Structure formats: structure tokens, C-alpha cells
Amino acid sequence: MNKLNQKGVIFSKTWCRMIAGSLVACMLLAGNGASAAGGGPTAGAEDRQASDFKQLLDRKVPEWQDTYGVPGVAIGIIDDGEIAYTLNYGYADSKNKQALDETTRFQAGSISKSLTAWGILQLSAKGLVSLDEPVQTYLSRFKLPDSGFDLNGVTLRRLLSHTAGLPAHKGYLGTSPGSPLTTLEASLSGEGWSNEPLQVTAEPGTAAAYSGAGYTLLQLVIEEVTDTSFADYMDNEVLQPLGMGLSTFHQDPQAPGMSKAYGYFGQELPLFQFTEQAAAGLTTTATDLMKLMLASMDSKQDTFKGKGVIPPALVEKMQQPVLAENGLGVFARGLSDGRTLIYHPGDNRGWHALYAFIQGSRDGMVVLTNSENGIDLRQDLYHAWIEYQTSEMPESTQALLAGRHTNALLAWGIGGLLAVYVLFFAFRVARGRRVFITAQTRRRYALLGFRLVLLTVIGMALFCASYLWSVLGLQSGLKYSVLLLFAWIAVLLVTGFFPRAAKPRRGEPAAEDAGSGVNSL
């Protein structure tokens, strides 16, 4: 075997070791993710103590952070109508090892909608709007386009409960800091990446479809009715009276105490800003969200509910489903023990959050994370808290674990095929059936060029979607499959330089013997 082929064998063996090591590491992580849910208290609900749940969190949350790759997690626990714990794990800035504290701010994503509902209900209590009036009554800067459905059925109540006949919204991606924000009218008209013009696509009141754009329309209602900016109105009339002094709808990435945000692969993400503040623009802390929950609960003093921002009767109205689980700015779900859970999740690029409380027992939990991987950690925390509350895991647990198991098998399949391909390629190089392109008599440079361009385009598209833009949902272990796809692309790029050796003509020596200089005489 000549020196060129020897180098090819060494190079291929190196790739084999690298891929095998990466595969084992990824699969171990995927396996950990598949079994991470659960681990909560097993005692009966009547025996539960908030201190026991805190001990569980102190043990499990750092493990989950390592498993999923989440730099920072802030958690708030309410027990019997009182703040029991505010817990901070990890870093607001992992590079500079800046620890989280109680003043660290997070983007809360769609939890913004709950506060927006408070703003609309306050206007209703003041007599400035009616929940059952058509939204068109309050608008001059934007009008719903005709679509064949009754636009008078698009009321504030139905917009608040996602039952106004609007299509399911794909979510807002936000704008990078330094770039100008579009106007509300432009956003509602479909301007912006991954945005669509707002229009009614079903008969209002007949079905529930989660719509961020509906809340953007409500943002415009607040601005038109109050003749002030949405952020100013919400900060002054809702957030401050609720005692949420570290929360705001103003879009300022340089605000003091703001955490960094991180992607699925640990990369730092921009602090995206939002025109659509009512749907996705809230920044807050765990303590502030607990104040929101306390103002939403029954208390020993009935006057506390609503805290003077909205009447207690309207707080109760918020939590009554209009259709399915959809209340006004919140969702209501029955638990296995007969109690009702009031909750809302929040998801922006680099942020995943949740608040949930049980009205009957006045218990609640807040979760704020600063990573795309926080979506998995948030789910495990939610499941552990429900088990702590009811002594049973929620129904969604099995579906989550099944999804993680499926994704782990997918990663194993992709990695296994890659390992087989690399070994087969190394074998063919060793046998002289794959030879570096410059040593070939037929140098297929055009084919190599096409291969390089195609793989580079695919790789760049995958890189941008998963790493640079973070627009792919890679939770539940899917990111390991993406890492292995990157490995596939790298291997295919390398093997393209080793095309198959031309078969020798009859009577000619094989490639591995050609040029050996051996004379049998």
C-alpha cells in the first residue's frame, strides 16, 4: 500500500474515533433527557411540605441544568397564599460567571398575554370598553379585512380567549437589538419575517385557536382607547399597582439586571425585541410573577384579589373557561384530585417560562429560564410540581417521555448509520478502492465541486436555522440528531475527496499493485 493510502487509512480511523466518541456522548445525554422527568415526592398530598419540594429542587435542578444545558433557572414557590421560596440556580451570564439573583430579569414570552388581559379588564371596569363589543368599535389605525365571516363576532372577550376565529399563530421571532421595530399596523398587516396578515378564517366563537396576533390587536385597542403607548399604560396602570416594580413592557436590551439568553448549543443569542409587546414583550422576575399570582388568588381578605387593579369579580371571570381550557389571558385545567390549575407558559427565542397556581389551595410555582433548552427543564419542573401537589404525574408525562425516547432512537439510528458508513469507507480506503482524487487517472473535479456546493448549502441552511437563528424546535433530544447530521455532512465532505478507484482493464494490475516496481524474474 502506498503512502497516500496509508494516510487515508489513518485519517479515516481518526474520523471513526471522533464520531464514535461524539455518538456515545450524545446518546448518553439523550438517554438522561429521556429519564429526567419525575423524581418528585411520593408522599400523599396531605403530607406535603413546601420545604420537601425545595429540597427536591435543590437536588434535581442542577442535575437537569447539566443534562439539558441550561445556564440559569429562577423559581418561585407560593405555599398557602404566601411566598415560600425564591430560588436561583446558575448564571445570568455564563461566560463571566455572573450568578442569578432576585433582581435578574428574564423575558417571559407569552406570559405577557396574562398581563395584557389585566389591562383590557381594567379598561372594562372603567367603562372604557365592553368585552362583548366588536373590536372594530375601538380601532381607527387598523381594520380587519373582509373574509366572508362575521367581523362583528370578533369581540374583546373572544380575542382574550383565543376564540375570535383567527388562525393559529406561528409566534413572533422578534427583532435584533439596534434594528428598528415595525409599527403595530405593519405587524398586523403581515410585515416581518415569519409573519402573516391578520384575518378571520373561521366563524368567531366556534373554536379555540391560539393567536398571538389577536393580542397584538388588543395592544392596539389599549393604545387607541387610552391615547398612550401600550408599554406606558401597562407599566403605570397595571404593573406598578400590582407591585411588579422590576417588570416592564418597554423594549430595552440594556436594562439593568437583564440576563443573557442562550441557544440549544450554548451559544449566546441576541436579546430580541418586540413590536408585539402584548403578546411577547414582558420582562420580569420570579418574585414579580408571584405577586401577579397572589393578586389572582383567593385570600383571607377578599379585597386583596385584583389588588385594586381590577375588581375581584373580573379576576374570577378571567379564570372561567370560555371554550375548552381557554379563559381570559389564562388557561384552566382540571387536576387528578379535582382541583383546577390556572396557568400560562411563555416562549421566546432563548427563553422559556411558566407560571401556574391552584386556586383552591393557593399554591403556585414560577419558572424562568434563559436558554432554549429550558423548555425541557421547565416541563420536568412542572411535572415534579404536579406530582408534589397531587401525588400523581400529569397525563402529559408519558407523552413527553415517549417523545424523548423516540428522539433518542432517532439519534441512535442516525449515529449508527454514520458509524457503519465511516467504517465501510475506511475499509475501502485500506483496500485501495477509494483513492484521493489527485492520485486518480480520472479526476472527477466537476462531480466533487457539485458535491461540495450541495453539502455546503445544506450545512449552512441547517446551521442558520438551528444555531444562528434558533428557529428550529430542538427540544426532547432532537438537538443530538442535528449534531449528528452536522457530523454526516462533515464526513460526506471529506469522503468526496476519495472517489472510487477506476476498475483496472483486463490484463492490467490492480490499483493496489500498480506502480509497485516488483519484478518476478
The strand pair at 268-269 and 261-262 is best described as antiparallel
**Letter string b/e over residues 118-147, b meaning 16 or more CB atoms within 10 A of that residue's CB:** bbbbbbbeeeebebeebbeebbeebebeee
Residue-wise pLDDT tens digits, 137-195: 999 999 999 989 999 999 999 999 999 999 998 889 999 998 999 999 999 999 877 78
Residue-wise pLDDT tens digits, 11-28: 344 444 444 444 444 444
What does the block give as the cell for 292?
401577579
pLDDT above 50 (res 235): yes
**What's the pLDDT score for residue 33?**
43
**What's the pLDDT score for residue 13?**
44
**Residue 354 host element (H or E):** strand 351-358
CA distance 276 to 251: 10
**What's the pLDDT score for residue 510?**
53
Contact between 218 and 172 (Cβ < 8 Å) = no
On whether the pTM is more than 0.85, the answer is: yes
- Model confidence band, residue 1 (pLDDT cutoffs 50, 70, 90): very low
Rounded to an integer, the average pLDDT of 467-491 is 97
pLDDT above 80 (res 34): no
Residue-wise pLDDT tens digits, 291-335: 999 999 987 655 579 999 999 999 999 999 999 999 999 999 999
Q: Which of 373, 38, 344, 430 is nearest to 162 (CA)?
A: 344
**What's the pLDDT score for residue 46?**
58
Residue-wise pLDDT tens digits, 330-345: 999 999 999 999 999 9
pLDDT above 90 (res 467): yes
**What's the pLDDT score for residue 476?**
96
DSSP for 137-161?
Answer: GG-SS--PPP-SS-GGG-BHHHHHT
Rounded to an integer, the average pLDDT of 408-423 is 98
Give the neighbor-by-neighbor strand order of the sheet with 82-93.
98-99, 82-93, 72-79, 363-369, 351-358, 340-348, 331-334
CA distance 196 to 213: 9
